[in-house]
Amino acid sequence: MRKIGKIKWFGGHNNKTGSQNDFGFIACEGKPNDIFVHLRQINCSATALIEETIVTFEVITNFRDGKEEAKNLRLLIDETDTEIITFCATNKDPNLWIPVFSKYFANFSINAMIFIGNNSNYNQQMEESTMLIEEYFEFLADDDIRVKGTRVGIESILYEYIYQQRSPEEILKHFYTLTLDQVYATILYYLNNKAVLDKYIEDWLEWSHEQRKSQELNPHPASARLQKIKEERNKKNGTQVSHG
């Protein structure tokens, strides 16, 4: 089973040998000691392994000294293991779920849904992660969910994502009060609650349509005056052109 950890240090100049180190150490939650990793066990550029970089790896035991070592190390963004991707994508920490989010979304296929339906541990994990993700939002009413600390409703973000097919980075450009992890959190919340939120969006679109229709039938007096001025101006310009 693959593990997740953070690089403590890797490489660097060795004053004793006068050369560059070809090893380093990883901090891993649940492990009392840092885990040794050698250059030959990494599957990325050594220059990418700076302090605090999140990586995934397998743990083996060195038969010589009985100590644990890392094997087949990858950057988190390069991970392909379904369980690791799912765990990270449903975690509250943006440092874990942002790197794997696109892969997590891609895995939301028929095969992935079959896996989810047959995996009780996964279902429990999804429930727990949904509770964590909900901390990003304010639930003002059944039909009014907003990104915490802003006036932006989740329907505005999800409309861009679902109907305009924009990426999280593209969506962020339209909402200057949001952060990228808030956009990701909204999309992940949608994916974890798709049936409920599809109805939420459908109701919002229907309400928006009714509002526009009502405004067209009963325009605000100021809007009516502006429309009348515009029509008179167009009529006047048209008359001037015809006499020209």
pLDDT of residue 189: 87
72 φψ region: left (φ > 0), alpha (ψ -120 to 50), beta (else): left
- 45 close to 70: Cβ distance less than 8 angstroms: no
The pLDDT assigned to 230 comes to 75
Quote the pLDDT of residue 86. 84
Q: What is the pLDDT of residue 113?
A: 41
Please report the beta strands in the chain, taking only residues with DSSP state E, as ranges in sequence order: 3-10, 13-14, 19-20, 23-27, 35-38, 54-61, 68-75, 137-141, 144-147
Residues of the chain with pLDDT under 50: 109-118, 122, 241-244
